[in-house]
Structure formats: C-alpha cells, structure tokens
Amino acid sequence: MTTNIPNLAGVATSNLVEQIGTGKFSASYINWSRTMALLREHAPGWQPELVTAPDGYVLHQAPVGAYLLIRFRNGDVTTPPVPQAVMDTRNAAIPIERITARDITDTHRRGVCMAAAFTFGLAYELWAKLPLESGYADAPPPPPPPTKVSPVPDIELPPQEHAHVAAVVDSIVAAWQEGSEMEAIAAYYELTDNDHKVAAWKMLAPHSKLRALLKANQPTAQAA
C-alpha cells in the first residue's frame, strides 16, 4: 500500500506569522508549536522522528560540528531524512565537544520546521520569502502596544527551573553582545511560561539597553 505524502503548500496563513527584530535584523517566522499544530491538523498520522547515527546517538558527526537527521513517519512509511546542523547564534557550526542539551533541543525544533517545509511544503513561503495568503508581505507589522511601567514581581523558581532560565539569560546576553539582536530577541520571547519570562526579565536588569531592545520588539501576530 502506498502512502501519499501530503502537500501542505498554502496551509500557513499570514495571521500565524510573527515579526521579530527591526531593520536588517527583522525576520518573519511561525512559532514551532504552531507549525506542529498545522501538521497534526492537515497531515494526521505524520510525526517527526530523529534518525540515529550508527553509534545509536542522535548526533551525526561532521568534519566540523554535528547535525541531526530528521524525517517523518506515518506507520511503516517514512520520508527521506533531512539534515539540520547544530549552530550557534551566528549560524556557525558548534564544535561537537561544546554542544549542549539546549543546543540539541533548539536544533530539533528548528529542524522539524525546516524538514516540514522541505518534505510537505508547510510554510515554505517563509523560507522562499514569498507572500502568504492575505498578502502579509504587503502589510507592515502593527506597532507593539505601549508597555505600562510596573514593578517586577518577585518570582521564586524551583532550583532546576531557575538554572534553566539563567542559562537562557546567558544565551540572550551573549547573542546581544555579539551583535545578534534577532537571536537575542527570539530567545527571550521563546520563554512561554510567564514566571520564567518575569524571572528572566529581572536577571536582565544590569543590561538596560538590552531590556529596551526586547521591550521594543515584542512579537505580534500580523492581521489577516
């Protein structure tokens, strides 16, 4: 029995697109969780999976760094695997001995979105810089709503969660100091737990210019 691979070109619409950054650092993207929701809705039964290396590990070693191989499965049917390199904030390969668990999980999320575009055409328009339905490319993103100044509440996180947020803050500061403003903005707004975001904001207090950049670039969904 042959299982047809769904064609999901045109499924992603402009109201799902978010904007981060300004000027040369601006970019349009669809959050990975929305990408997976579209996949479950329009291609039921297809799930992403990692192809392990011959040693059974998820990382495939390259001359410099490593990569993940990502494919989709529906029962016994699988799609051709697609490689996704493990990269730093400058899109340079990370030496394999310096790759962390966070690097692997971030690469997996990014790679699943890329593989979905490669395999099913899902949101391929963003990768190809083509307009989506409703012409999102012709409509400028709405300005972020004014932010009310209010005291930052004290948040006491469990040790494990505090360590995770601290690591995210370190990556935000590092990206900003290296001039990768878009990466810094994306890393902060990928914190979906409100307590984690508040805690991260408080940890960023010594970096007032960075906080101003984050506040000025809050992601907003574009109107359809």
CATH code, 124: 3.30.390
Average pLDDT over every residue of 21-29? 60
Residue 223 lies in a domain: no
Query: Do 132 and 40 share a structural domain?
Result: yes
List of residues 6+ apart from 215 with CB closer than 8 A: 147
Residue 35's alpha-carbon distances to 8, 11, 114, 157, 200, in angstroms, are 11, 10, 10, 30, 26
Residue 145 lies in a domain: no
List of residues 6+ apart from 48 with CB closer than 8 A: 70, 71, 72, 112, 115, 116
- Report the domain count for the chain: 2
Q: Give the model's pLDDT for residue 45.
A: 93
Predicted TM-score of the model (pTM): 0.55
Token digits for 129? 């810089």
Residue 83 lies in a domain: yes
Query: Do 102 and 42 share a structural domain?
Result: yes
Query: Do 173 and 117 share a structural domain?
Result: no
Dihedral of CA 51/55/58/59: which sign?
negative
Helix, strand, or coil (residue 75): coil
Residue 9 lies in a domain: no
Q: Which domain holds residue 45?
A: 14-138
Query: Do 121 and 179 share a structural domain?
Result: no
CA 197, chain centre distance (Å): 16
Alpha carbons 141 and 80: distance in angstroms, whole number: 36
Query: Do 107 and 37 share a structural domain?
Result: yes
Q: From 69, 104, 138, give the residue that closes a domain.
A: 138
CA 105, chain centre distance (Å): 10
Q: Is the pLDDT of residue 117 over 70?
A: yes
Query: Beta-strand (E) ranges in 59-128?
Result: 60-61, 66-74, 77-78, 82-85
Q: Which tens digits make up the pLDDT trace of 32-51?
A: 888 888 899 999 999 999 99
CB atoms within 10 A of CB 107: 23
Alpha carbons 55 and 68: distance in angstroms, whole number: 14
Q: Which tens digits make up the pLDDT trace of 122-137?
A: 887 766 665 544 433 4
Q: Is the pLDDT of residue 214 over 60?
A: yes
Query: Do 134 and 173 share a structural domain?
Result: no
Dihedral of CA 202/25/174/165: which sign?
positive
Residue 174's alpha-carbon distances to 22, 23, 41, 46, 168, in angstroms, are 19, 20, 37, 37, 10
Alpha carbons 110 and 103: distance in angstroms, whole number: 11
Q: Is the pLDDT of residue 172 over 70?
A: yes
CB burial readout 41-69, b (16+ within 10 A) else e? eebeebebebeeeeeeeebbeeeebbbbb
Query: Do 129 and 46 share a structural domain?
Result: yes
Average pLDDT over every residue of 71-95? 92
Query: Do 63 and 173 share a structural domain?
Result: no
